[in-house]
Structure 1
Amino acid sequence: MSAGSGFSPRSVLFVPGHRPDMLAKVVRARPDGVIVDLEDAVAPSAKEAARGTALTALAADRPGAGAVLLRINGVGTPWYDPDVAAAAAAIRTGVLDGVVLPKYEHPAQLTALRAALPDGAVVIVGLESALGVADARPLLAERPDAAYFGAEDYIADLGGRRTPDGAEVLYARSQVCLAARLAGVAALDQVVVAVRDAEAFRVDAEQGKALGFRGKICLHPVQVSIAHEVFTPSPAELEHARAVLAAAETGVGLVEGQMVDAVHVAMAHAVLARAPTNSRESGLSAH
């Protein structure tokens, strides 16, 4: 897998790097991607040990998911270079598919990271700071394989506070999704930290889908199945998309009372591209 390969997961499940016991449970959730986290999930004093622990566990028993990635520590931290070197070695041996670069803020960061990794490595970037969100379009023009919006870090950097309705991050959330669309990369929506509140996750995922996101970051296995329900087109959506394309072919101007034009045809194609029969249950699907 590499940039432009069609990497578009409906779900990516984060697993703390210092908790290899949790990797064995991943297969039950069947996420499109697994991200073993060496950054936020691991205390500074435990980062060196977590790197070795995580990669040893992955080498012994790679979890069942379409893509397995390592979220490395950010550029400028003392753990960045060792993380990149270890990840590159693991990618060469097939233990990993790629890495996640947090707090992406400068195009040169992605250029340098790609140069340090084997060809074809997947790179997901996090836009989760004020600068990262403000410069989302030029940053994503460098064509990472996917990008996620990190709402918690973003609002902390801005000096705001999170609220239940999320109005404080709507602009940034939309900015990241728009920039990803213009760059042709997959956009992954923000986390829901209330991991046992399934309804809150569903509502947030539906909002993300309405904005244009194609998948969501998950912090708990229960969130994975909901993400798949939300971001996989329903039978009704597929039927409507096929009707729109059929109408366009025959010159019919209306479908269910709505006008059919080039925009609706493009949207119908996008829906059908995400149909389960057109995708491998591995996160590899058309953008």
Structure 2
Amino acid sequence: MTALVARSLLFVPATRPDMVAKVGRSRPDVVVLDLEDAVAPGDKDSARVTAAETLTAERPGAGTVLLRINAPGTPWHDEDVRTVVGLLAGGHVDGAVLPMYEAPDQLADLRGALGGDARVVVGLESVRGIADARELLAAGPDGVYFGAEDFAASIGGRRTTGGTEVLYARSRVALFAALHGVTSLDQVVTAVKDADAFRTDARQALDLGFRGKVCLHPIQVEVAHEVFTPTDDEVAHAREILTAGESGVGLVNGEMVDAVHLTMARTVLARAGESV
């Protein structure tokens, strides 16, 4: 299976078919109908029915379509999984998002139920999830997102504008995702209409090694694509570095080229969708 492309992952409440219908305007790489955080406990069953009806009627305009189920151990998990299985059979979704991922068996059980071709994105958003990130990501999900809000609540911390309170946890997700070849998605920005705040956070995520960003609003999708798509100049420079490396030239524009720079250039081209 090819690597999951996810510069943007847009969450849409499963209770809002009107919002699902508008997804094609922003064209996120991944759209997720959410049965978890976006749905109150008393509305879980009706939201599941609404999500199934919405997805069966028309597939949203996104590269990958997923359903975020409720976590293992909740009263709704098993029925959520059965719903995903039915939607997969009809080609209406590509897989599921597993929140509060804390044990490899949880991923194994979900993959067993969905089948090997289904995409699974997991959420590391608790103290246990972050502490065991290396083992959890070694189990092989297609993608992982860092849930900063839930993590801060789990550890008993407080969210700040600067975000230093989650930097260690955020970095662990990026680190172990890279180690195991898992597509990594950075934390949400809850100020959904503040494009500048989202852009700043996304650039920090790119610097940390994330491959995309979780989005809560279509405005954020556009900014995520802007940040996580290399510019023409970046792509041209990366090609120049690789060409220099192949010919044994030690300098490009007066800067030394060594193995590290070749690796970084390949990363840029991979982000641009080029095989290297």
> Taking structure 2 as the reference length, what is the TM-score of the superposition?
0.98
- Which of 207, 211, 224 aligns to 1:214? It is 211
- Which of 90, 101, 104 aligns to 1:104? It is 101
Q: For 2:3 and 2:60, how far apart are their aligned partners in 1?
A: 21
- Which of 46, 53, 58 aligns to 2:55? It is 58
> What's the secondary structure of 2:123's corresponding residue?
strand
> What's the secondary structure of 2:227's corresponding residue?
helix
Cross-structure match for 2:261:
264
Shift of 1:150: 0.4
Letter in 2 for 1:212: G
Give ranges in structure 1 of 5+ residues lacking alignment.
Answer: 279-285
Q: For 2:233 and 2:164, how far apart are their aligned partners in 1?
A: 30
Q: For 2:254 and 2:214, how far apart are their aligned partners in 1?
A: 36
Cross-structure match for 1:75:
72
> What's the secondary structure of 2:28's corresponding residue?
coil
Q: For 1:250 and 1:118, how far apart are their aligned partners in 2?
A: 46
Q: For 2:105 and 2:115, how far apart are their aligned partners in 1?
A: 17
CA RMSD, 1 decimal: 1.2
- Which of 121, 127, 145 aligns to 1:124? It is 121
2:91 is the alignment partner of 1:94: yes
Shift of 1:274: 2.0
Q: For 2:116 and 2:136, how far apart are their aligned partners in 1?
A: 20
- Which of 184, 189, 192 aligns to 2:186? It is 189
Shift of 1:256: 2.9
The range that moved more, 233-242 or 149-158, is: 233-242
The range that moved more, 62-71 or 245-254, is: 245-254
Q: For 1:61 and 1:140, how far apart are their aligned partners in 2?
A: 32
1:165-184 mapped onto 2 (5 Å cutoff): 165-184=162-181
Cross-structure match for 2:15:
18
Cross-structure match for 2:145:
148
Contact 1:8/1:146, CA 8 A, preserved across alignment: no
Contact 1:232/1:274, CA 8 A, preserved across alignment: yes
Give ranges in structure 2 of 5+ residues lacking alignment.
Answer: none
Shift of 1:257: 3.1
Q: For 1:168 and 1:183, how far apart are their aligned partners in 2?
A: 25
> What's the secondary structure of 1:169's corresponding residue?
helix
> What's the secondary structure of 1:196's corresponding residue?
coil
Structure 1 segments of 4+ aligned residues over 6 angstroms from their partners: none
Q: For 2:3 and 2:83, how far apart are their aligned partners in 1?
A: 26
- Which structure has more RCO (C-alpha within 8 Å, separation ≥ 6)? 1
Cross-structure match for 1:283:
none
> What's the secondary structure of 1:85's corresponding residue?
helix
Q: For 1:203 and 1:119, how far apart are their aligned partners in 2?
A: 37
Shift of 1:20: 1.0
Shift of 1:262: 1.3
Contact 1:244/1:265, CA 8 A, preserved across alignment: yes
Letter in 2 for 1:34: V
- Which of 34, 37, 41 aligns to 2:38? It is 41
